[in-house]
């Protein structure tokens, strides 16, 4: 099946399950207008993140990798009035576009965008109170570092999601060797011997092609 067919499939399902949303459309349009890469989560995946955050009644959410704040908006919409989301972004430009998009979404008071290398920003965060949910979607070679920090910052029973861990099945194909793929492999190897988390990978297919996310619970 070709990528266009999977895009059609997403569109078909979304037409029943996800209402047209001018705020999210504007966020993507503004991101494109500012030259940001089109690497946000898909609409269906964004909605999944929101549903997940709602399911666990998340009050504190941490995101690593903001881009233009598309996934951030989805996640923040699940927060109660006194909820908070902290999102970490290396690029000052991406962060500014995200802040604009979050303001347009009416979410500025709930969301803090912190600019800098995520490893540095994470080191300064404290689990008081701990986070309920961490979404990791930044530079893939740093996955394991981010996951280790996420474990420190999330509550017992809290959820850590890592995006893009299947990569067209290439993570499992030894003939592919690149830093992004190695970043996923290193994470998997570390989780294998880690008694503090319980995890599974869910493969996905849709408008972004074949990929998947890792879903972990802090024990």
Binding site for ligand SAM (CB under 6 A): 39-41, 65-67, 70-71, 88-91, 94, 117-118, 137-139
Q: Supply the minimum distance, in Å, between the C-beta of residue 64 and ligand SAM.
A: 6
The length of the chain is 219
Q: Supply the minimum distance, in Å, between the C-beta of residue 168 and ligand SAM.
A: 16
Q: Supply the minimum distance, in Å, between the C-beta of residue 90 and ligand SAM.
A: 4
Q: Which residue has the tokens 């998997």?
A: 188
Backbone phi and psi for residue 195, each to the nearest 5 degrees, phi listed first: -75, -10
Which residue, 136, 196, 205, is CA-closest to 167? 205
Q: What does the radius of gyration of the chain's CA atoms come to, in whole angstroms?
A: 17
> In the complex with ligand SAM, which residue's Cβ is closer, 121 or 174?
121
> In the complex with ligand SAM, which residue's Cβ is closer, 41 or 166?
41
Which residue, 112, 157, 151, 116, is CA-closest to 134? 151
> In the complex with ligand SAM, which residue's Cβ is closer, 89 or 149?
89
Cβ-count burial 76-99 (b if 16+ within 10 Å, e if not): bbbbeeebbbbbbbbeeebbebbb
Q: Supply the minimum distance, in Å, between the C-beta of residue 95 and ligand SAM.
A: 8
**Phi and psi based region of residue 169 (left: phi greater than 0; alpha: psi -120 to 50; beta: remaining):** left
Structure tokens, 91: 């690029």
> In the complex with ligand SAM, which residue's Cβ is closer, 6 or 70?
70
> In the complex with ligand SAM, which residue's Cβ is closer, 69 or 158?
69
Q: Supply the minimum distance, in Å, between the C-beta of residue 158 and ligand SAM.
A: 19
């Amino acid at each position: 099946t070709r990528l266009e067919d999977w895009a059609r499939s997403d569109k078909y399902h979304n037409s029943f399950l996800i209402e047209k949303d001018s705020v999210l459309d504007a966020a993507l349009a503004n991101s494109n207008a500012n030259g940001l890469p089109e690497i946000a989560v898909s609409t269906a995946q964004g909605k999944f993140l929101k549903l997940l955050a709602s399911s666990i009644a998340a009050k504190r959410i941490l995101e690593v990798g903001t881009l233009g704040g598309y996934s951030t908006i989805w996640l923040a919409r699940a927060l109660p009035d006194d909820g908070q989301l902290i999102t970490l972004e290396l690029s000052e430009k991406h962060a500014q576009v995200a802040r604009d998009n979050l303001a347009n979404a009416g979410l500025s008071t709930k969301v803090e965008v912190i600019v800098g290398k995520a490893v540095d920003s994470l080191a300064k965060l404290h689990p008081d109170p701990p986070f309920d949910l961490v979404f990791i979607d930044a530079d893939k070679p740093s996955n394991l570092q981010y996951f280790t920090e996420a474990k420190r910052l999330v509550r017992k029973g809290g959820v850590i999601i890592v995006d893009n861990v299947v990569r067209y099945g290439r993570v499992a194909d030894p003939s592919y060797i690149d830093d992004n793929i190695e970043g996923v492999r290193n994470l998997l190897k570390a989780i294998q011997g880690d008694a503090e988390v319980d995890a599974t990978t869910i493969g996905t297919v849709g408008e972004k092609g074949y990929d998947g996310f890792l879903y972990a619970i802090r024990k």
